[in-house]
Amino acid sequence: MGLPGKSAIWRVLVTGGAGFIGSRLVRRIENEWDNAEVTVVDDFRSGNFKNLEGFKGELITGDLAELKLRSFLASSDVDAIFHLASITDTREQDQRKMCWDNIESFRRILEFSRRRKIPIVFASSAATYGIDAKVNTETDACKPANVYGFSKVQLENLAAAYLSDPDLAGWKIAGVRYFNVYGPGEQHKGAMASMIYQLYLQMKDGKRPRVFEHGEQKRDFVHVDDVVDCTLRAMDSGKAAVFNAGSGEARSFNDVIALLNKALKTKLEAEYISNPFAFFQPFTQADLTRSRRELGYEPQYTLEKGIADYVRWLRGDPAPVSSRTSKVKAAV
């Protein structure tokens, strides 16, 4: 289907658009898509109004699991949907709440879109893979270890069920499995912000960074601008599939602490504590073969560059002369 051209007006709906990733996505669309008109739906449970500073479109405020979208929009008023609204607290144990909010919100989006087969890209998660300590490909069996991951599996199953309907042949619905995302715009998330941000807060105050014993657990830490790029490319591709969005590299928490020490010019040693969470993933790493081949996705941030740039941003230091924005514009 392609990104909008110079003369086309694209009417884009972004759910969860005041959140961490959603707001970066909204900014990219408004800054880089010619003649884009963006509508955001968010109930601000995990979003923040500051993330929408400078937003030029319409804001619809409400719980998407109960909101009657057709009271605000006709499906003919929407050309593309990015569905990022979700309960994102992976520690949430209320199964009914998690499943109702995440699954029924998506079902409403699908029902709103089905008549015109509006293309949809939705946020899934690496939590669908569970705690298998291996490099994960999209064809791996889903083994979620918590209800958050379970709810994301159900989103993927729901999309597959709609796509199996012969009357809906040709509908483009893509899921993007986000790995461990960090970067600007997550500060409002508190305890659910990335570990990179949590460790930064401790270390900038001169405290020893606290991580689970012995800091060698590894994560695929991916910069928010990379996952936004993957999300946009999933829409641009017009493909109905699930794609990994990660850095493609697993790095330890000890690596993170070392890079934060370098960026902050500190020499703080880690304090290792016991892990109380049975669903804690010891290792995550995205296999990017499909995302590279079918989307042309290529992460731009190594962990070294990502942490250095993020700390500069957090401290309000000037951005480096060589910015990533122009590269991304050229890429898409």
**Per-residue pLDDT reduced to its tens digit, 61-111:** 999 999 999 999 999 999 999 999 999 888 888 999 999 999 999 999 999
3-class secondary structure per residue, the chain: CCCCCCCCCEEEEEECCCCHHHHHHHHHHHHHCCCEEEEEECCCCCCCHHHHCCCCCEEECCCCCCCCHHHCCCHHHCCEEEECCCCCCCCCCCHHHHHHHHHHHHHHHHHHHCCCCCCEEEEEEHHHHCCCCCEECCCCCCCCCCHHHHHHHHHHHHHHHHHCCHHHCCCCEEEEEECEEECCCCHHHHHHCCHHHHHHHHHHCCCCCEEECCCCCEECEEEHHHHHHHHHHHHHHCCCCEEEECCCCCEEHHHHHHHHHHHHCCCCCCEEECCCCCCCCCECEECCHHHHHHHCCCCCCCHHHHHHHHHHHHCCCCCCCCCCHHHHHHHC
With a cut of 60, say whether residue 1 has pLDDT above it: no
CATH node for 10-186+222-247+279-300: 3.40.50.720
With a cut of 60, say whether residue 211 has pLDDT above it: yes
pTM given for the model: 0.92
User: Residue 282: its pLDDT value, please?
Assistant: 86
Catalytic positions:
148, 189
With a cut of 90, say whether residue 13 has pLDDT above it: yes
**Per-residue pLDDT reduced to its tens digit, 166-180:** 999 999 999 999 999
User: Residue 111: its pLDDT value, please?
Assistant: 97
User: Residue 70: its pLDDT value, please?
Assistant: 93
User: Residue 3: its pLDDT value, please?
Assistant: 52
Q: Average per-residue pLDDT in the chain?
A: 92
